[in-house]
Amino acid sequence: MIWLVEIALVLLLLGGGWTMLTRSRHTDRREALTMRRVDAYIETIRRERRNPELAAMSDMELRDLLHSGARNLKVAEQKRGWTLLGIGAGTLIAAAIAGSQEGWMGFAAVAAIGAVVGYGASEFLTRRMRAPLERHGIDIERLTVE
């Protein structure tokens, strides 16, 4: 019976990996949308003038800062995804080993520990990828492209 859970988890991990590998197809559209959002955010910064550091920058400096910030955010999101996929794969292997030796209780315990580790790693990496932009006073939600 435990082999059904193992098969389901392996299929979920394969699906997640496949999704991450094929995500790059939409790069051109995503890049164009990012540039439009950067330009719109520059106009908002100029209009509102809330952050004197950003308002004092030239359009070229601000465009470079925002575009590189958006690109770094995208790269950090990809790293976070790969890290979580690795944690999931490690949890699956460890849970399968524990499940084969201890039964359902061992499997459930290792899966729960893996879920807590995955959640903690996700939160840590999310905060870490947002910190450089927040330090400059940049609203991250204006740069993210789903």
43-102 pLDDT, tens digit per residue, is 888 888 888 888 888 888 888 888 888 888 888 988 999 999 899 989 988 998 898 888
Residue 18 lies in a domain: no
Query: Which residue range forms the structural domain that includes residue 124?
Result: 27-142
Residue 86 lies in a domain: yes
Q: How far apart are CA 126 and CA 52, in angstroms?
A: 27
Residue 4 lies in a domain: no
Residue 47 lies in a domain: yes
Residue 112 lies in a domain: yes
Q: How far apart are CA 69 and CA 112, in angstroms?
A: 35
Based on the structure, what is the number of domains in the chain?
A: 1
Q: What is the pTM of this model?
A: 0.71
Computed over every residue of the chain, the mean pLDDT equals 85
Structure tokens at 41: 């955010």
Residue 10 lies in a domain: no
The upper half-sphere exposure of residue 132, i.e. CA atoms within 13 Å in the direction of its Cβ, equals 11
Residue 94 lies in a domain: yes
